[in-house]
A and B are shown apart, each in its own frame.
Chain A
Amino acid sequence: MGEPKDKIGIKEYIAIALFMIGTKTTDDIPSMLFDSLQNAGWIAPIISGILAILPLFLLLHIAANYQDKSLIDIIYHIFGKFLGFLVLFFLWAIGFFYIVLDTATYTDIISTMYFVKTPAILIYATLMGVCAYGAKRGLEQIGSVSWSVLPYLQVSLFLSLILTIGQGNLGFLFPVFGPGEWDVLKESTMKISLYMDFLYLFMLFPFVKSTKDFKKGTWIAFFLILINLSITMVSYVMLFDYKSVMLLNYPYHETIRSISLGFLTNIETLFFPFWLIASFIKFAAYLYINIMLFGKLFKIEHFEYIMPAFATLIVFLGLLPESPTFAIFDLKAMVGNLASPLFFFLPIIMWTLAKFKGDLRK
């Protein structure tokens, strides 16, 4: 199999992007934002989104200039063999570390919110088993699966949001800027790593049908994600108020526990499968991109064969932290702080160097 043979269309690309980044609103990222921004947490995705436009724009500009090259080749080209390798290795390491932490978070969500008695290792192994299988099938399959289930998942998310907003209180949103305008701006800037995954998505550039599709897809996905993130966070504040939302680790799951639909008072199990499908696809895509990068770095042509091995490794690494709910939360914040400047400055450096080399034509 190796690299994908057929290219994916714009729909599939948008779906993959939505799953990789959009699902963040349903894990512990919101609580990370609420922690520092209190009730203004929902503004963070918007402000950091506006900031993220610059690196995204530069990346698109660079990618369009080097037709048919993925981000990996471009980085090698711009930075040279040695430095390029270091940059890519650093990107891979952050990506890998992030997958470990994120899968650990999702396992923690499942085992603390839904399957309290089931051993975490079984839940984790099942999660990674499915993801590794999906990733091993290849990019086209991940794209197709994403697109075929996306409408249903989006509907289920919006249904839960409508119910939440219906039961929420608009007054909880005020004062709009929570701890103060300056704080909001400062903290939001630090959270730009929310959109870090776009950097990884650029590695799929040569596998999307056309440059135009990729450009259009990236912007559509970006705005959809931005809207999804802020609306869901608004609804969390409206339902819980900022004091309690700051205490919650997984606000989405608390939300679907609190809302009811007619005679059904506990409907979290209705939303749970949709969220699960989204998570499976999300990590399949993460794993695929990460292992593809690894394969490129170490010249492994059929990189799909090392996926099961990496999936197993991830399970054991992810199980290491003793009290995942807190340890992983802190570790994730740390990785975020490291990734934010990387995501912001790497495209700028790349663009400058490319300009310097005279590769960019207007």
Chain B
Amino acid sequence: MFNIIQKMKPKTRTQHGNKMGKKKLAQDVNPNLQKNLDTLKVVYSYPDNTDFLIRELFISGLNKKAAILFISTITDFKLIDEHIIAPLLNNKDENIPIHNIITIQSIENKHTIQDTMKDINSGNAALFIEGEKQAYSVNVANFEGRGIENPENETVVKGPKESFNEKAFTNISLIRKRLKNENLVIENSVVSQRSNNVVYTLYIKDITSEKLLENVRERLNTLDVDAIQNLSLLEQYIEERKYSLFPTVLYTERPDRAVSFLEDGYIVLLMDNSPDSIVLPATFWSFFHTSEDHYLRFMYGNFTRLLRIFALFITIFTSSIYISVVTFHIEMIPPDLLLAIAASREKVPFPAVIEVLLMEVAFELIREAGLRVPSPIGPTIGIVGALILGQAAVEANIVSPIVVIVVALSGLSSFAVGDISMNFTIRILRFGFILAASVFGIYGMTAVFTLGLFYMISLKSFGVPYLSPLTPKYKSSGDTVFRRVLQHETFRPGYVKPKDITKR
């Protein structure tokens, strides 16, 4: 009995606490100005909280006391001065509504303290007037951020060079600039309870499938967390298989790419504080493609695709093929090459696996460290890394020269796959294949490959099979490993179930 009471206790307390909190927030605006100010002073810890400001004034024409409340760091001072305070003080007219005094484009009436606070938190100024049962919320928000810059991860030689920045409105404007259509809808929903982070869902009304949209909305609405600062975190909340090696949500910093997905019936998510967008659903191919594949002419674009798929296979398989050939299938190497390899490995005291793993780990370390070093000493680290780990390791007979070639080749090729998530996937997969090759040679590698293929094909991203349209087949423009001539890309991908499948 006692146990039960103890267990019940914290539960009831939190319930009570929630109720109290809601009551307090849902309080109506009081006609008594001082009472409102007192409530808000407590909520915002007024004198301690240095950037929360209250400007009290007297509206001469109306003969009323008033107060303007705002957070100075996220508002535009000049706007408040010139367009709110000055007109109010200079007013002589007695029967004029507030909306006609203030000269700012957007004013809303708020009836509860809670709503007013929400607006203050997002950069608005709140105007309270003695004797009125409402507050005026004036849009003077001005958040600091950087301007539009070049994309850093998805660079192209040919094509637009704008990238998203941390302001959602700028990003939406970049998208609207490319897609001038009234059917582009931008919904917003608050996804976190405490920080009130807003996610903007973008889609084209007469193309995007209702079912897909419902699926995304549901996932966004069922989130129950205090804060989701940006899209990179949101991605991990809404994806299906959290432990999977393969990414199922595409992440792009290029507005042109996001727009081309929107035009195909995909859904794009944007958020403040994220210099990128999320594209849903994603298939394996969307990670493999880049926007430049389509900007380059047919032959050139497909040539880069060919190189990329080649690089993908080299990254995953070279090291493991080297190990399995050297340890299990020596007969397949032509005799002269075999002798050369044998001679170079003669002095190395390790089995091939250890040798390759040493170099692979070293390469990954250089790569990771290279990302984190302060930029002034970056080049030095590169030279030291390459020299010491390449040249010196060979001279010290720790690795054979051919392993340096193999590892460098697979390491360099991994950069050809631009998408960060897919890049990680293939880098980790490589180690799986190395281990399989060291145990069972080609047999082990094929076993792991088949397992991986079965796994990959069973993956789904928001109900879309991972390898579609390759298999299962859907009506689409067939943009998989290679792309077609633009005039022949006449269908939207059928797997996202667009309302209108033909592109004209």
- Can you list 27 pairs linking A and B with CB atoms under 8 Å apart? A12-B471, A12-B472, A110-B443, A114-B329, A114-B442, A115-B440, A115-B441, A127-B447, A130-B447, A130-B450, A133-B451, A133-B454, A137-B455, A138-B458, A140-B472, A141-B458, A145-B453, A148-B470, A264-B332, A269-B329, A269-B332, A269-B442, A272-B443, A272-B446, A273-B446, A276-B447, A276-B450
- Report chain B residues within 8 Å CB of A129: 447
| B421-456 vs A, Cβ < 8 Å mask (1 yes, 0 no) | 000000000000000000011111111011101110
Q: CB of A200 within 8 A of chain B?
A: no
> At the interface, yes or no: A6 with Cβ under 8 Å from chain B?
yes
- List, in ascending order, chain A residues with CB within 8 A of B457's CB: 137, 141, 144-145, 148
Interface of chain A, helix or strand or loop or mixed?
A: helix
Task: State the Cβ distance, B356 to closest chain A Cβ, in Å.
Answer: 18
Report B211 CB to chain A, min CB distance, Å.
15
Tell me whether A264 and B450 are in contact in the complex, defined as CB-CB below 8 angstroms, given that A114-B443, A123-B443, A272-B442 are known contacts. Answer: no
Q: How far is the CA of A178 from the CA of B472 in the complex (A)?
A: 45
Report A112-143 residues with CB < 8 Å from chain B CB: 114-115, 118, 122-123, 126-127, 129-130, 133-134, 137-138, 140-143
Asked if A61 CB lies within 8 Å of chain B CBs, one says no
A residues in contact with B328, CB < 8 Å = 115
A33 to B93, CA, bound (A): 109
* A138–B440 CA distance with the chains assembled, in angstroms: 27
Q: State whether the Cβ of A277 lies closer than 8 Å to any Cβ in chain B.
A: yes
- Return the chain A residue nearest B336 by Cβ: A263
> Any chain B CB within 8 A of the CB of A92?
no
Contact partners of B158 in chain A: CB under 8 A: none
What residues on A are CB-neighbors of B458 within 8 Å? 137-138, 141
B467 contacts the other chain (CB 8 A): yes
- Known A126-B447, A280-B447; contact A264-B334, beta-carbon cutoff 8 A: yes
Cβ–Cβ < 8 Å partners of A86 in chain B: none
**By the criterion CB–CB under 8 Å, are A277 and B446 in contact?**
yes
Task: Report the contact-size class of chain A (Cβ under 8 Å from the partner).
Answer: 35 or more
CA A277 – CA B192 in complex, angstroms?
47
Interface size range on B against A: 20 to 34
The answer to whether A276 touches B443, judged by C-beta atoms less than 8 angstroms apart, is yes
Q: Is the CB of A118 within 8 A of B332?
A: no
Q: Is the CB of B445 within 8 A of A273?
A: yes
Contact of A145 with B454 in the complex, beta carbons under 8 Å: yes
Which residues of the other chain, A, contact B442 by a CB distance below 8 angstroms? 114, 269, 272-273, 276
B54 CB–A CB distance under 8 Å: no
A126 to chain B: which residues have CB within 8 Å? 440, 443-444, 447
A277 partner, pick from B444, B450, B455, B465, beta carbons under 8 A: B450
Q: Are the C-beta atoms of A280 and B446 separated by less than 8 Å? A: yes
Q: Which residues of B contact A6 (CB under 8 A)?
A: 472
Looking across the interface, which residue of chain A has its beta carbon closest to that of B329? A269
The reply on B341 being an interface residue by CB < 8 A is no
The answer to whether A269 touches B325 (Cβ under 8 A) is yes
Interfacial residues, chain A to chain B (CB-CB below 8 A): 6, 8-9, 11-12, 110, 114-115, 118, 122-123, 126-127, 129-130, 133-134, 137-138, 140-145, 147-149, 263-270, 272-273, 276-277, 280-281, 284
Q: How far is the CB of A278 from chain B (nearest CB, A)?
A: 10
Say yes or no for B331: interface residue by CB 8 A criterion.
yes
Bound state CA distance, A263 and B338, in angstroms? 13
A130 touches B334 (CB 8 A): no
Q: Does A144 lie within 8 Å of B440, measured CB to CB?
A: no
In the assembled complex, which residues on chain A have CB atoms less than 8 Å from the CB atom of B35? none
Beyond A115-B443, A144-B467, A264-B332, list 9 extra A-B contacts (CB 8 Å): A9-B473, A126-B447, A137-B457, A137-B458, A142-B454, A148-B470, A266-B332, A269-B442, A277-B446
- A148-B473 CB under 8 A given contacts A115-B441, A266-B332: no
Docked pose: A263 CA to B335 CA in angstroms: 10
Q: How far is the CB of B460 from chain A (nearest CB, A)?
A: 11
**CB-based contact A134/B450 at 8 Å:** yes
Q: Within 8 Å CB of A277, what residues of B?
A: 446, 449-450
Contact residues in A for B467 (Cβ distance below 8 Å) = 144, 148
Residue of B nearest to A272 (CB): B442
Q: How far is the CB of B296 from chain A (nearest CB, A)?
A: 26
Specify which chain A residues have a CB less than 8 angstroms from the CB of B449 in the assembled complex: 273, 277
Residues of the B chain whose Cβ atoms lie less than 8 Å from the Cβ of A145: 450, 453-454, 457, 471
A130 to B451 CA separation, bound complex (whole angstroms): 6
Tell whether, in the assembled complex, residue A9 and residue B472 are in contact, meaning their CB atoms are under 8 Å apart: yes
Q: How far is the CB of B261 from chain A (nearest CB, A)?
A: 24
Q: By CB atoms of chain B within 10 A, which of A114, A145, A266 has the most?
A: A145
Most-contacted residue by chain A among B440, B445, B457, B465 (CB, 10 A): B457
Residues of B within 8 Å of A263, CB to CB, are 334
Chain A residues whose C-beta falls within 8 Å of the C-beta of B332 in the assembled complex: 264, 266-270
Q: Which residues of A contact B331 (CB under 8 A)?
A: 266, 269
The proximity string for B residues 451-486 relative to A, scoring 1 for CB distances below 8 Å and 0 otherwise, is 101110110000001010011110000000000000
Give bound CA distance, A9 to B329, whole Å.
39
Contacts of B451 in A (CB 8 A): 130, 133-134
Which residue of chain B is the closest to A263 with respect to CB atoms? B334
Alpha-carbon distance between A107 and B447 when the two chains are bound, in angstroms: 13
Docked pose: A122 CA to B445 CA in angstroms: 15
Among residues 311 to 341 in chain B, which have CB atoms less than 8 Å away from a CB atom of chain A?
325, 328-329, 331-332, 334
Q: Which residues of A contact B454 (CB under 8 A)?
A: 133-134, 137, 141-142, 145, 284
Q: Roughly how many angstroms separate A295 CA and B446 CA in the complex, as a whole number? A: 30
Contacts of A11 in B (CB 8 A): 471, 473
- A273 and B329 alpha carbons, distance in the complex (Å): 12
Q: Are A276 and B325 in contact (CB-based, < 8 A)?
A: no
Q: How far is the CA of A270 from the CA of B332 in the complex (A)?
A: 8
Smallest beta-carbon distance A136→chain B, Å: 9
Smallest CB separation, A151 vs chain B (Å): 11
Are A149 and B453 in touch, CB under 8 angstroms?
yes
Complex Cα gap A144–B451 (Å): 13
CA distance A141 to B325 in the complex (A): 31
Which A residues are CB-close (under 8 A) to B443? 110, 114-115, 123, 126, 272, 276
**B334 A265 Cβ-Cβ under 8 A:** yes
Residue of B at shortest CB range from A131? B450
Neighbour of A118 across the interface among B440, B455, B470, B472, CB < 8 A: B440
